[in-house]
Structures are given as structure tokens and as C-alpha cells.
Amino acid sequence: MGRHPVLVSPTSSLPPLKRLVDHNNHRIRQALQSLRDIYFSPAPPTPTKLRVPKRQLKTRIHDKSVPDSGYASAEEEDDVGQGEEEGDIAPELDEESDEADPDILRSDQLERAFAVKWLTGFISRSDDWISVSADEEEENERLGIIDEVTSLLAKFAGDDLEETGALTRTFSFPTSSSTVEVELNDAALSKEDHTSVGLQSWASSIVLATRMCLQPDEYGLTRRARVLELGAGTGLLSIVAAKLLGSQTGAIVATDYHPDVLDNLRQNIATNFPFSSVPPIEVRKLDWEQPDFSASLGEPFDAVLAADVIYHPEHASWIKRCVERLLVRPCPQAGREGGVCWLAIPMRTVGRHEGMGDTVSAVFPTAHTMGASRTEPELAILSEEHVGRQEGVGRADEGGYRIFKIGWV
């Protein structure tokens, strides 16, 4: 049986940020793992000993304020994690350091605040660290490390569920006359398979579901409407649509790709409609790159819903091709308006998915910029709304959300 790692306080173990460009990937990963071992590791069967340094500080390194969960604190204390050069911020370990229970270190709010500020400062300096990458392979690895940093920072804020166990979440969305109650199982993310992101409920879907409940007609949730959800994940949008429409629904189809996600999706539907002999939502596998439009996907939909589905440069293009095939087209002769696609995405300013939302604007033109020479309707962005980040919702690297209304022009 292996020994538990010796835990070292953040003020002693985190590398100086002033010399961030000099630190290799292995050193940064060591620092991140040290923070995980201290704050987010499972409780060991026997107490793990740690070394607590005897501090000989020349300057005060901690304030007494509650650490924030955003990136602003990086500007408040530029000297965080800059080592003894900057006033003995990170003291050396004393060989005669006392041993203590790990709980003592975990409960030290000054150490915790230092860790949060170090992570925040790392993100603010990450561009410089990326710029000195030796090659494309190292650059990609560093982008992945930045994702780890933002995820870890989100854990400190209590906003992110990544790498945690399954969790049941209950949502209550107000409507004009009552509330819509939804219970979801957020399953644990697979560490081996990054494509299983749909096992979690992401903030974009919560933001969009809130608006759907307040204005269902605006989002195409009208009597006998056919509703499709792309990248359904835990199924929040589909379940909300089914509860809003009740017996008046035409059909609701929730689609995703990963087998584990589809299994969890079916479980969530069964949980929310326990007395239905026939579930009001059909679950279908859909590969955006190589879609199969047979069976229930052979007939177009009045409303297409999608939230946080853009995390690869090609996703916007693939989704556009699917929407072109699956969204009801207008027919003036029959007095029929075209369907509408609602797409909600987070605004991420750091990490691997930084600026990914811009691919939507690149693929879908804005309606007012299109000429009048078209012989057939084309998809375009009819409107775009920016929504600020809400307290207690979303990852730390999400600065807000963009909601696109996409339709035929």
C-alpha cells in the first residue's frame, strides 16, 4: 500500500508567478496536483502527515478579505506567488517543521486565499506562458493546463462539478403562473473520455431554460410544436419544454452522441416523468459530422434548442448543416413561418475554448447584412443577446453568455 503524499502549504509549494515563463509544464502540474491533494482529495483512511513551514516573513502576504472567485484579484496583488525576491512571499521549508493533521492546513483560510490568488494570477499571466512554448505540441499541452487551472479555480468557488461524483440537482424555474420543477442527475465526468461532457448540466442551458419558462411562445414552445434539442446532455432544455407543453406537445426529441450521456439522459427523463407509460421525450443518437436523419429526425422541427455545444472549431459548421436540414422552412404560399433555432453559449476568455463562440458569427451571417438576391431562404442570426454571469452558476472562466436567435431569411 503506497504512502500518502506529504502535503506542503501553498505559500511554500507554489512557484513564483513573476518567473512563470521559466517554469515547465511538469512544474506547474506538480503545483496543481499539490492543491488537489490538499483541498480536493478523498479523505484518507488514516491521517496524512504534512509539513507546516515556520514562517519568517518580512512583509504581510495575506489580506483578511474573503477571496473572490473571478480574475480581478490578480490585479489586486501582483506579488502573489513571486517568491522570496518579492518579500519572502513563499518561505522555505524549515527542516524542523512541525507535523500536523491535514485538516489544519485545509482549514487555514490564509493558505486557501493564497491558493486562490495564485490561480487567479496564473490565468492573468497565461498568455505570456503560452507564447514561450517550444512547439505546437507544447502549446496544446499548456492550453490544457490552463483549462485545469480554471477548473481548479472554479472548484474553490464552488461552481464546478468536474471530477466529482454524481450529484442530483433540483431546479425551480418561474413561469408566468407557477414554477417548473426539474430534477437532474449530473454524473461524474470520465477522466479517460473527454467527449462525455454532456454528463454535466452547464450554465448556458440553465440561462436558456430560465428564459424559456418566462416566454415559452417566444422560444417556439407553442401548441403541437415539434421540438429538437441538439447536444442535450442531461436533457434540461428538453425536459423543461415537455413540462411547459404538457399534453399539447407535438414531439420532443433530445439528441446527443456519447453512449454514457444518452444513458444518463434517459434516466433523467424517467425521473422527471415517473408516471408516463410512454416518455414525452424521445432520445436519439446524433453525430453532427455524419448525421443520420432517419426515423424521428426525418421530419423538420418548429424549434431547435442548443446550449454550450461549441467546443471545437468545426462544431458551428456541423451544427449549421444539421439545422439547415432539421428546421422547418418558411412557406409563404401556405402561410407558414419558418422555425427558429435558439443557441446559447458561454463567453470564455481564457483556456482552450477561448473565443470559440466567435465561430458561430463566422458561420451564421447576421440577417441585416444579407442582400436580397437569394432565391432560397438561408439561415442567419436574427438577434443576439448578451447575459451576464449569474452568482452561483457556471464555471469560473465564463464571463457571461450569448443567446443567438437563428432563423430563415
Average pLDDT, the chain: 81
- Give CB contacts under 8 A, 24+ apart, made by 386-393: 386/347, 387/207, 389/203, 390/203, 390/207, 392/158, 392/159, 393/159, 393/203, 393/206, 393/207
In a domain, 320, yes or no: yes
What is the pLDDT averaged over residues 152-171? 66
Which of 135, 157, 179 is the last residue in one of the domains?
A: 157
In a domain, 18, yes or no: yes
Which of 157, 184, 204 is the last residue in one of the domains?
A: 157
Q: What is the pLDDT of residue 68?
A: 35
Query: Could you tell me if 238 and 383 lie in one domain?
Result: yes
**Gap between the Cα atoms of 55 and 103, Å rounded:** 19
In a domain, 357, yes or no: yes
pTM value is 0.62
In a domain, 162, yes or no: no
Query: Could you tell me if 28 and 119 lie in one domain?
Result: yes
The answer, yes or no, to whether residue 51 has pLDDT greater than 50, is no
Query: Could you tell me if 198 and 143 lie in one domain?
Result: no
Query: Could you tell me if 210 and 228 lie in one domain?
Result: yes
In a domain, 2, yes or no: no
Q: What is the pLDDT of residue 378?
A: 95
Query: Could you tell me if 129 and 195 lie in one domain?
Result: no
Helix (H) or strand (E) holding 103: helix 102-106
**Gap between the Cα atoms of 238 and 6, Å rounded:** 47
Query: Could you tell me if 65 and 184 lie in one domain?
Result: no
Residue among 253, 220, 228 nearest 340 (CA): 220
Helix and strand totals (H; E) in the chain? 12, 12
What is the pLDDT averaged over residues 164-179? 83
Instruction: Give start and end residues of each alpha helix (H) in 158-256.
Output: 203-214, 236-245
Q: What would the pLDDT profile of 341-396 be if each residue is shown by its tens digit?
A: 999 999 887 767 778 889 999 999 999 888 777 788 999 999 999 998 776 677 76
Query: Could you tell me if 177 and 317 lie in one domain?
Result: yes
First-to-final CA distance of the chain = 66
CATH code of 267's domain: 3.40.50.150
In a domain, 171, yes or no: yes
Higher pLDDT pick, 80 / 220: 220
Lookup: cell for 21: 515563463
| 50-52, strands of its sheet edge to edge | 7-8, 50-52, 98-100
What is the pLDDT averaged over residues 50-70? 39
Which of 116, 139, 157 is the last residue in one of the domains?
A: 157
The answer, yes or no, to whether residue 225 has pLDDT greater than 90, is yes
Query: Could you tell me if 148 and 186 lie in one domain?
Result: no
Query: Could you tell me if 77 and 126 lie in one domain?
Result: yes
How many CA atoms are closer than 13 Å to the CA of 243, on its beta-carbon side? 26
Provide the number of structural domains found in the chain: 2
Lookup: cell for 38: 490538499
Strand partners, 172: 181
In a domain, 71, yes or no: yes
Pairing of strands 303-307, 226-230: parallel
Q: Is the Cβ–Cβ distance between 255 and 229 less than 8 Å? A: yes
- In one-letter notation, the amino acid at residue 59 is T
Q: What is the pLDDT of residue 226?
A: 97
Higher pLDDT pick, 126 / 225: 225
Pairing of strands 226-230, 251-256: parallel
Q: What is the pLDDT of residue 303?
A: 98
In a domain, 1, yes or no: no
- Structural domain range at position 385: 167-408
Q: What would the pLDDT profile of 92-107 be if each residue is shown by its tens digit?
A: 334 444 444 677 888 8
Residue among 82, 73, 76, 81 nearest 35 (CA): 81
Query: Could you tell me if 91 and 173 lie in one domain?
Result: no
The answer, yes or no, to whether residue 200 has pLDDT greater than 80, is no
Query: Could you tell me if 173 and 319 lie in one domain?
Result: yes
Query: Could you tell me if 353 and 323 lie in one domain?
Result: yes
